[in-house]
Chain A
Amino acid sequence: MKILSCVIIDGEGPGDTARHLAAELDRRGHRAVMLGSDLDPGYFTDLSARVHPRRVIFAPSARDECDALDLDLAGGFPEHLAGLVEAGIKRFLRLVQAAIHALMGNGGGQIWVADWDDTFEYHLPLPCTPLQAEARAASVRALAKECARLGIKINSLLLQPVAEMFQLEQFRDAREELKTYALRYRPVSCATVAAQLCNFLEQPDLPMAGAMVGLGTGICQGHLIQ
Chain B
Amino acid sequence: MLGGKVCLVTGGTRGIGRAIALELVKQGARVVVSYRKDSTAAEEALEKTSTLDGELVPLRSNLADPVEAESLIAGVIERFGRLDVLINNAGITADGAFATMAADDVERVINTNLAGTIRLCMLAAPHLVAGTGCILIVSSLASVVGKEGQVPYAASKGGLNALTRLLARRLGIHGVRVNALAPGFIRTDMVKSLPENSYRHIIRSSALGRMGEPEEVAAVAAFLVGAASSYISGMILRIDGGFHR
Contact = CB atoms under 8 A, between A and B. Distances in A.
Interface string A73-113: 10000110111011001100110010011001000000000
Contact of B155 (A78, A138, A144, A146): A138
Contact of B148 (A104, A132, A133, A145): A145
B36 interface: no
B111 interface: yes
Interface stretch (A49-57, A64-72, A189-197): A64-72
Contacts of A226: 236
Contact of A138 (B158, B165, B166, B167): B158
Contacts, number: 136
Contacts of A143: 98, 146, 151
Q: Which of B101, B151, B163 is packed against the most chain A CB atoms within 10 Å?
A: B151
A149 to B, nearest CB: 9
Contacts of A146: 97-99, 148-149, 151
B53 interface: no
Nearest to B103: A94
A210 interface: yes
B6 interface: no
For the residues of B in contact with A, the DSSP-based class is helix
A39 interface: no
Contacts of B170: 69-70, 73
A100 B98 contact: yes
Q: Is the interface of A mostly helix, strand, loop or mixed?
A: helix
B142 interface: yes
Nearest to B149: A146
A3 interface: no
B115 A82 contact: yes
A131 B165 CA distance: 10
Contacts of B150: 142
B154 A86 contact: no
B179 interface: no
Interface residues of B, number: 45
Nearest to A93: B106
A131 B110 CA distance: 12
A153 interface: no
A26 interface: no
**Interface-centre pick from A69, A73, A82, A210 (highest chain B CB count, 10 A):** A82
Given A142-B150, A145-B148, A82 B158 contact: no
Given A70-B170, A90-B107, A145 B147 contact: yes
B101 A78 contact: no
A66 B145 CA distance: 26
Nearest to A78: B122
A144 B98 CA distance: 11
A135 B98 contact: no
B118 A81 contact: yes
Given A138-B146, A142-B142, A90 B110 contact: yes
B60 interface: no
B110 A139 contact: no
B18 interface: no
Given A224-B162, A224-B166, A86 B101 contact: no
B226 interface: no
A135 B170 CA distance: 20
Nearest to B107: A90
Contacts of A89: 110, 114, 155-156, 159
A58 B221 CA distance: 37
Interface in A109-152: 122, 130-147, 150
B243 to A, nearest CB: 14
Contacts of A90: 106-107, 110
Interface in B87-107: 97-99, 101, 103, 106-107
Interface string B132-154: 00000000001111111111101
B30 to A, nearest CB: 24
A188 interface: no
A135 B158 contact: yes
B152 A224 contact: no
Contacts of B98: 97, 100, 142-143, 146
Given A138-B155, A141-B146, A146-B98, 6 more contacts: A65-B166, A81-B118, A81-B122, A132-B159, A138-B143, A139-B152
